[in-house]
Structure 1
Amino acid sequence: MENLNYWEFIAGLGIFLLGMHQMESGLKELAGKSFRTLLQKFTNKSWKGILTGTFITSILQSSSLVTLMVLAFLGAGLISLQNSIGVILGANLGTTVTAWIVATLGFKISISSFSLPFIGIGALFYQFFSKRIYLKNFGLLLLGFGFLFFGIDLMKTSIELLAQKMELSQFAEVRLIFFLGLGIVLTALIQSSSASLVILLSALNSDVITLDQAAAATVGANIGTTITVIMGAIGGTPDKKRLASVHFIFNFCTGILIFPFIPYFITVLENSRIGGDHLILLVVFNTLMNLAGIIIFFPFLGFLRSWINQRFKTKKISLTSFIHNVDTSVPEAAIKAVEKELDSVFDRTKFFIKETLGIEAKAGEHESIWQKVLGRSFELIHVYNEIKEIEDEITEYHIKIQSEPISEVEARHLSSLMESLRSMVYSAKAMKGITQNIKELESAERNLPKKFLLRIQDHAKVLFEQIEKLRLEEKENREVPQWLQQLQYQDQIFMEDLYKEAKSHQTDIPFSTLSNVGNEYCRSLYSLGVAVLHWQHPKTESSNLDQPK
């Protein structure tokens, strides 16, 4: 294989993968919310999940992205295991659209000349409309589409040069099992069944491999793509592991059932009306394989769900650290354990608020894969759920303490601690309600909503300093600080200033959304401040610490 231009081939593969990533990013930003809504609302039946998975994947052109989306929804409790299985099966069928586009266009025309206008226009849009979110993402979409076909052209050219110099008969006797393994390894390495299929189409187009060998490698690629879901499920919830197992079982069993009959299927396809074009035949084989898998498995989905639900059962891990080690028969020690648990709740609540507001890092920095794929809200939902779980554990422990003989002073102290816990949960809940609104402000095109969010972020930084200061003070009967009292009316101040600025600035975000953000932000920070007062200063009179109206 000394005649293969390795660097041209590797560059082509890299540009192709980059193009797919750019297309995913552009489509996710242009219609990400719509797809998230689609996943949530139209997967209540297995057949609906299959259709939804097929549709979304055919648009996003990436089964890997869709499977990561489904895993994140499943982990966040926003979609059931039953519904997510259907989406995963549909994603397998939807990803064949990429192969159809490549087979019908990629090898029929001058790809480089076809791709250059998309790259040029897309790059110009992305560069000159960087402040216009929709135009910028549309440019990213065009850029990705152009890169995708330019990468195909480089891979096709390098493989054609190889085919002209090598003796092709040396592959004639290679067993199909070798190509099955090749497809598995190749897809596992590059994490894209679409890229693997493009490589196979290029090799088939240049007659480096035969149609049945390409079909065997396609079966392997279908199995290898399950590695993406398996990696995404490592260390995850039992449901994530169950979904990864179902995906592997489906693709593996489908492949094993079809593999022995590949020569027969290829003969039938070659004798059909479309038998003259091997590229189209390979794509047809890939589509029929995934469709056949769905038809075969669909009647057994109920049994498969029941069976898989018995797997990966794990003992629930307690999120509390102290209360389970202290017997309630010693009320003084038990109350102290509750007090220590509030440290964890406070830290989680503070983290949740800061991350939701985006004041820990600049936009786009230090984002995890889940933040890039789905946005902050779906990652942070885990933090909120943990706060709720800790609340349940402490409440259950509180009931046990109350069954013990405790003094009046201990009862008041315990009541104050529970009031603090409830206030922290109120704080997190108020912030959770505006998570999506915050994302809308972050992606706004007008300066007015952006400045509004910036003002809230700056205000929050100052408030967190005040809250930490209050937390460390040792005074008893602490009076309610002036800054905390003012928070009850701060949202009105925000809106008055906003209306003044609106006289000279436009907004692309409704004022009702801005008002809701200001109101719930003030409610959240006020509740957190109240929580610290109850927690650190249990003798503080709480009659004037009601929730803001």
Structure 2
Amino acid sequence: MEEKFDYWEFLAGIGLFLWGMSQLELAIKELGGASFKNLLHRFTDKSWKGILVGIGITAILQSSSLVTLMVLAFLGGGMISLRNSLGVVLGANLGTTFTAWVVATFGFKISVADFAFPFLAIGVMTYLFMNSRPFLKNTGIFLLGFGLLFLGLDYMKLAIEEYATAVDLSELQSYGLWVFFITGIIITAMIQSSSAMIVIVLSAVNAQVIGTDHALAMVIGANIGTTFTLILGAIDGSADKKRLALGNFAFNFFAGVFCFFWIDQLIDISIHFFNVVDPLMELVILNSLFNLIMILAFFPFLPAIEKWLTKRFRRYVPKGRSRYIKNVPLDVPSVAILAFEKELEWVLKDTLKLVWKIIHKHKRPKKDASVWKKITFQPKDLLQDYQNLKNLEEELYLFAMFLQEKNLSLDEATLLNDLTQTMRSLVIGAKEFKDIVHNLVEMENSEEPFVVDILDRLQGEVKDFLTVFEDYVAMGTADEAIMQSVKAKLKNNYSSLIQLLYTQLKTKKTDVSISTMANVIQQVFSGLELIWGAIGSLHKQEIAPEERL
């Protein structure tokens, strides 16, 4: 009697396998996601390091999509170059083959269901009864995912084994390996998991439904099909996402086509060089070999590939004045916050440039201009610089507002609030200087030496402040004593100037009113104090950013 293929059992197996993979991804992300993001951030300054990190993280996380999401976040935030992110993607393709090794080693040599049941039982109980303890809860999810993964494998294996004796592939095989190659691409693109596809292929090989050459053709196709996950996500994505998706597709497509034409030679290598007789182990070795060939083939050309990709999709670069946050997905809050912080470094630089231009390089109105024009004078370039700063502030505020809607930890929410306050201090400090431009011009045009002397003193204060700031940043460490010392100095110098102003003008009037000069002095020192406080806050947060990832 001819066996009927139990489609529902087979589809249930795929569903359980994919669900198990997603639960494993969720658990590992919660248990060690910060550590993996820290590793990815710190050790991807070179392409070869990116490849090694991509292999290691993906082998543990078993989710190339999660690793790719991290890479996109760092790439958009300017914390990793396109070249090095391509290296991580290359490594991730090899790291994801670890699932096939586990399945081929254990999945077909023991009773898979019996192996899965203890993990399912312990995982479910831990998850249900330890729900208030995050570590134990996520450990339970991990065990549950592991059990579901192998239970799904058991369903797929049984469904294929029951039908194996009744399957006649002679007609299908007559079309050649191309049909298996294309089938691997299509099925993997549909189920969005190369790991699940390779497990299906391993099950078919174990049941002797297909040979090693057909299986390898499907595996090569699966490696190409899995790139469609990133391609779909890049359709409405930023330019960086499109570039990374195109690079990933190009790697797998060209390497896949090359290896497809050399399938027989690759099989001969696995038999003679590795001396493998188990068809399952032979297939996983060939799968890893394919991805290793891809790394070796493209690694020397990563600089040229980066240059070529950078010229693509320029019209998809997000609009806005920000440099980092406009490219960072909010799906990884810790990286988004780090990008927000890097953006503030530029806000600080723009603020200091504006202050310097206002104090030293403002343009005077013409000598024959009216008194009213001199008093209300506001240079267009300075106003535009300040407006640019305000536009950037608004963009950052909107980013922070959307980020706050994500599932932030208490530490992340506190840090985001602190960074937002720091940004506000910088912009208010810049406004203090912007509002006195016309007063500075009035003082500069004064005929009284004393008024010009006050202006010179204020310019000296700003110059000294910028020098102290440069020295403080060069130290590379936060120093509370220096912070307090500079604050005290600003306060003392403010009091001295105000005292000098009142002493000199008690009996003598000038062409610039005492209230105007007092206001200028007050706003200059107020602005410097706000900016210095923001500098201290930013520099303190920069000391160990990896602790926040």
Counterpart-to-counterpart distance in 2, 1:427 and 1:208: 58
Give the CA deviation at 1:233.
Answer: 2.6
C-alpha distance 393-177 of structure 1, shift in aligned 2 (>3 A): farther
Which structure 2 residues correspond to residues 370-449 of structure 1 after superposition, within 5 A? 374=332, 376-379=333-336, 408-409=375-376, 411=378, 418=386, 425=393, 439-441=408-410
**Alignment TM-score, normalising by the size of structure 2:** 0.64
Classify 1:171/1:389 alpha carbon distance in 2 versus 1 (closer, same or farther; 3 Å): same
Gaps of 5+ in 1: 321-344, 346-351, 353-368, 444-449, 461-540
For the 8 Å contact 2:239–2:314, the answer to whether it is kept is yes
Q: Aligned-pair distance for 1:428?
A: 6.1
Q: Residues 249-281 of structure 1, C-alpha deviation per residue, up to 9 Å, x if partnerless?
A: 111111111101112322443456644211111
CA distance in 2, matches of 1:255, 1:39: 27
Residue 97 (str. 1) matches residue 98 (str. 2): yes
1:128-139 correspondence to structure 2 within 5 Å: 128-139=129-140
Q: Distance in 2 between matches of 1:187 and 1:420?
A: 47
Partner of 1:260: 261
Which residue is 1:479 aligned to?
none
TM-superposed deviation, 1:289:
0.8
Q: Residue 215 of structure 1 aligns with which residue?
A: 216
Alignment of 1:307-346 (within 5 A): 307-314=308-315, 319=320
- Structure 2: 5+ residue stretches without partners: 366-372, 421-521, 534-549
Q: Take 1:223 and 1:313, find their aligned partners in 2: how far apart are those partners?
A: 25
Residue 66 in 1 paired to residue 67 in 2? yes
Contact 2:363 2:379 in 1 (8 A): no
5 Å-filtered alignment, 1:4-19, equals 4-19=5-20
> Higher Cα Rg: structure 1 or 2?
2
Confirm or deny: 8 A CA contact 2:238 2:318 kept in the other structure: no
| Residue equivalent to 1:21 | 22
Structure scoring higher RCO (CA < 8 A, sep ≥ 6) equals 2
Matched, 1:202 2:203: yes
Confirm or deny: 8 A CA contact 1:163 1:206 kept in the other structure.
yes
Amino acid at match of 2:375: E
Name the SS of the counterpart of 2:165 in structure 1: helix
Native 8 Å contact 1:71 1:233 kept in 2: no
| Structure-2 change in CA distance of 1:285 and 1:424 (3 Å) | closer
**What is the deviation of 1:31?**
0.9
In structure 1, give the amino acid aligned to 2:335: F
Partners of 2:364 and 2:79 lie apart in 1 by 40
Relative distance call for 1:393 and 1:43 in structure 2 (3 A) is closer
Determine the C-alpha separation between the residues in 1 that align with 2:238 and 2:318: 11
Cα distance in 2 for partners of 1:273, 1:427 equals 57
Question: Which amino acid in structure 1 is aligned with residue 9 of structure 2?
Answer: E
Shift of 1:210: 1.3
Show the counterpart of 1:284: 285
The answer to whether residue 184 in structure 2 is matched with residue 183 in structure 1 is yes
What TM-score do the two structures reach when normalised by structure 1? 0.64
Tell me how far apart the structure 2 counterparts of residues 139 and 105 of structure 1 sit (CA, whole Å): 22
Identify the residue that residue 518 of structure 1 maps to in structure 2.
Answer: none
Q: Confirm whether residue 157 of structure 1 aligns to residue 124 of structure 2.
A: no
Which residue of structure 2 aligns with residue 38 of structure 1? 39
C-alpha separation between the residues in 1 aligned to 2:127 and 2:346? Answer: 44
Distance 2:350 2:236 in 1: 23
Alpha-carbon deviation of 1:23? Answer: 0.5
Q: Which residue does 2:428 correspond to in 1?
A: none
Distance 1:302 1:286, change over 3 A: same
User: In structure 2, do the counterparts of structure 1 residues 231 and 168 end up closer, same or farther at CA, with 3 Å as the change threshold?
Assistant: closer
CA distance in 2 between counterparts of 1:241 and 1:424 reads: 25
1:236 counterpart residue number? 237
The amino acid that maps onto 2:291 is N
SS at match of 1:208: coil
> How much does 1:77 deviate?
1.8
**Residue identity matched to 2:314:** K
Equivalents in 1 of 2:166, 2:309: separation in Å?
51
Q: CA deviation at 1:382?
A: 6.9
CA RMSD of aligned residues (A): 4.3
CA deviations over 1:201-256 (Å, ceiling 9, x no partner) = 11111112111011001000111111122223333333332222221111111111
> 1:501 is matched with which residue?
none
Amino acid at match of 1:137: N
User: Using the alignment, how far apart are the partners of 1:197 and 1:6 within structure 2?
Assistant: 18
Whether the aligned pair in 2 keeps the contact of 1:387 and 1:425 (CA below 8 Å) is no
Shift of 1:102: 0.5
Deviations 1:99-141 (A, max 9, x none): 0000011111000010010011111111111121111111111
Task: Check the 8 A contact 1:384/1:428 in 2, yes or no.
Answer: no
Structure 1 residues 385 and 236, CA, compared in 2 at 3 Å: closer, same or farther? farther
Post-superposition shift, 1:176?
0.5
Q: Shift of residue 392 of structure 1?
A: 9.6
Counterparts of 2:183 and 2:37, CA distance in 1: 35
In 2, Cα distance between equivalents of 1:131 and 1:208: 48
Name the structure 2 match of 1:52: 53
Identity %: 44
The answer as to whether partners of 1:64 and 1:192 remain within 8 angstroms in 2 is no
The 2-side partners of 1:31 and 1:72 are apart by 17
1:34-90 CA-partner distances (Å, limit 9, x unpaired): 111111111111111111100000000111221122112212222111211111110
1:148 is matched with 149
- Residue in structure 1 matched with residue 504 of structure 2 by the alignment: none
Change (3 A) 1:20 1:442: farther
Q: 1:427 to 1:218 in 2, by over 3 A?
A: closer
The one-character-per-residue Cα deviations of 1:122-174 (angstroms, maximum 9, x if unpaired) are 11111111121111111111111111000000111111111133334444423
- Aligned counterpart, 1:295: 296
What letter is aligned with 1:378?
V
The verdict on how the C-alpha distance between 1:251 and 1:415 changes in structure 2, with shifts beyond 3 A counting, is closer
